Amino acid sequence: MTTKPFILTAEDRLKLRRQVLNSLGRGKGRAIRGKDLARRLGQPDDRKIRLMIRELIDEGVPIASSVSEPMGFYIVANEIEAADYIRVLEGRIREDTARLAAFNKACSEFAIPEQPSLM
């Protein structure tokens, strides 16, 4: 099975960006799953949707995601939602840090060059 390259023209990127921004609800109660958003916007999967969401966050749009009901992406509506999502992200960082330490220990028999720290 071959896949199409992940390429968007500048015009298509702007159009999809606008569509994603206009389709996201404000507040966790209006969260929408990436696959549902992709389907709504005529995308075969949610890869481009996730890319647009990442770009929007980088541009300052407070988009969060929830893995509990209601699941999906949403625009943060208030400081409580923002603080809750920050706690979720900080928890992921702690989990990933612990997993990295355990993996490094598990791989101690291999000669793996040390990587520069991201933090």
Lowest model confidence (mean pLDDT) among 62-76, 81-95, 102-116: 102-116
Give mean pLDDT, residues 25-36: 97
Give mean pLDDT, residues 52-75: 96
**Cβ-based neighbour number of residue 90 at 10 Å:** 10
Domains (ranges, CATH) in the chain? 10-77 (1.10.10.10)
Show contacts of 13-21: CB within 8 Å, 24+ apart: 13/52, 16/41, 16/43, 16/48, 16/49, 16/52, 17/52, 17/55, 17/56, 20/49, 20/52, 20/53, 20/56, 21/56, 21/61
- Mean predicted lDDT score pLDDT of the chain: 90
Cα–Cα dist 69/50, whole Å:
19
Question: Prior bond to 70 cis, omega within 30?
Answer: yes
pTM: predicted TM-score of the whole model, two decimal places: 0.81
List, for residues 12-22, the tens digit of each pLDDT value.
889 999 999 99
Give mean pLDDT, residues 84-110: 94
Cα→Cα distances 65→10, 28, 79, Å? 26, 8, 15
| Residue-level pLDDT at 46 | 95
